[in-house]
Homo-oligomer: A and B are copies of this chain.
């Protein structure tokens, strides 16, 4: 039985608590939050769970094996650091920390202490994203051309990070999981419309060594909620709409064909032909992602395995976010990613 403490009972915390509570092989020992009124909710729903306004009490409790952190981004590093120092396994809400130095430090510490460090890249654990990974791995899509995602809605404005760190982080974690190549540079643009706020609308382009491109539109100020990803490839293309009840993923047997010989009669157009075939919406496993993720976290603790979304994944995503913020401050000037280079030279 792994005993879990959850820090933060705001928007995401209740989901963590519910899934840890119902997981086999785990129990929620304690929940901490600075706000007494949030803790009252915990107690009303789960009378058996201990609560505290003092997160140190939770972190230092020797009876607790693992800590799940669901607090604002700016606090991730300090809390995860304390927890690792106390020898806890740690699951941190996305993004893992506020910059790559912090993430690297957490990775090193977890490795030294032989503890699991996992980042809550929730979408990686959805049936839809696992299906996309399966399709990419199978090679049936052909050569991948682009990844394009729109993730917009009205709210929830964050005060300590811009909209890329809040929304685009999902797409970056999905890309990190499903794409067989890594970005080498970014260009980002965005704007803040709220006095004292951070960018609430942002556009992020990722460049790759090969002939691929990726783009994310993240927006806290949109009149409608959209969650749509297009994956273009040479043989098949994917539309992934997370708001669809069923048919979240549609695989289109569509593409172009190129003609080699020149046709003088059609000099006005490139010799590009269009191929259109069936569309298949594969059945998707509907298990709640967080349920799969918590099970994975527990297994990694028990088996001493590296998580699918461990520190390295968290680091790659944070590096992109950091570069994007730099580029955005300079109206889209491209910024290179160092990690890709390091991996390539390693």
Contacts and interface: CB of A to CB of B under 8 A. Distances in A.
Interface of A: 10, 22, 34-35, 37, 44, 46-48, 71-72, 145-146, 148, 150, 152, 154-159, 185, 187, 189-191, 193-197, 201, 203, 205, 207, 211-213, 215, 217, 219, 221-225, 230, 232, 237-239, 243, 245-247, 250, 252-256, 258, 265, 267-270, 272, 274, 276-283, 327, 330-334
Contacts of A256: 154-155, 157, 194, 221
Q: Give me the 7 closest cross-chain CB pairs, A-B, nearest first.
A: A187-B332, A223-B237, A223-B252, A189-B205, A331-B334, A332-B332, A279-B281
Complex copy number for this chain: 4
B230 A152 contact: yes
B222 A232 contact: yes
Contact of A159 (B148, B154, B194, B268): B268
Contact of A217 (B185, B217, B224, B247): B217
Contacts of A22: 44
Nearest to A187: B332
B187 A213 contact: no
Chain A, interface SS category:
strand
B72 A195 contact: no
Given A219-B148, A224-B252, A268-B159, A213 B189 contact: yes
Contacts of A195: 258
Given A157-B272, A187-B189, A205 B332 contact: yes
A268 B72 CA distance: 7
Given A221-B237, A223-B239, A243-B245, 20 more contacts: A10-B268, A22-B44, A146-B201, A148-B219, A154-B274, A155-B256, A155-B272, A155-B274, A157-B256, A157-B269, A158-B269, A189-B213, A194-B256, A195-B258, A222-B230, A223-B250, A253-B283, A281-B281, A332-B332, A332-B333
